[in-house]
Amino acid sequence: MFANLVHYGRLYLRLEAQYIKARMNYRVDFIVSSIGMIFSNIASLAVFWVLFHTIPHLAGWTFEEILFIYGFYLLAVSPAQIFFDHIWQLRYHLMEGTFIKYYFRPLNMMFYYMSEMVDIKGFAQVVLGGAVIAYASTQLGLTWTAGRIGLMILTLFSASLVVIAILVIASCAAFWTLQSYSILALAFRLREFAQYPTTIFDGFFRFLFTYIIPIGFIAFYPSQLMLRPQEASWLIYISPVVGIALFALAYLVWSVGVNSYSGTGS
Kindly tell me which of 29 and 103 has the beta carbon lying closer to another protein. 29
Helix (H, G, I), strand (E, B) or coil at 106: coil
| 50 contributes a contact to another protein by CB under 8 A | yes
For residues 51 to 80, the per-residue mask of contacts with another protein, x marking binding by CB under 8 A and - elsewhere, is x-xxx--xx---------------------
Spatial neighbors of 97 by CB under 8 A, at least 6 apart, are 263, 264, 265, 266
Length of the chain: 266
CB-CB neighbours of 174 under 10 Å: 24
Per-residue buried b or exposed e for 18-54, using 16+ beta carbons within 10 Å of the residue's own CB = eeeeebeeeeeebeebbeebeeebeeebeebeeebee
Give the residue with the Cβ less far from another protein, 55 or 153. Answer: 55
Using CB under 8 A as the binding rule, whether residue 211 contacts another protein is answered as no
d(CA 91, CA 170): 11
Instruction: Say how many residues touch another protein, by CB under 8 A.
Output: 40
**Which of 13, 20, 24, 32 is in the footprint of another protein by CB under 8 A?**
32
**40 interacts with another protein by CB under 8 A:** yes
Q: Among 46, 95, 134, 149, which residue sits at the site for another protein (rule: CB under 8 A)?
A: 46
**Binding site residues, another protein, CB under 8 A:** 26, 28-29, 31-37, 39-40, 42-43, 46-47, 50-51, 53-55, 58-59, 121, 177, 179, 181-183, 185-186, 189-190, 192-193, 196, 200-202, 205
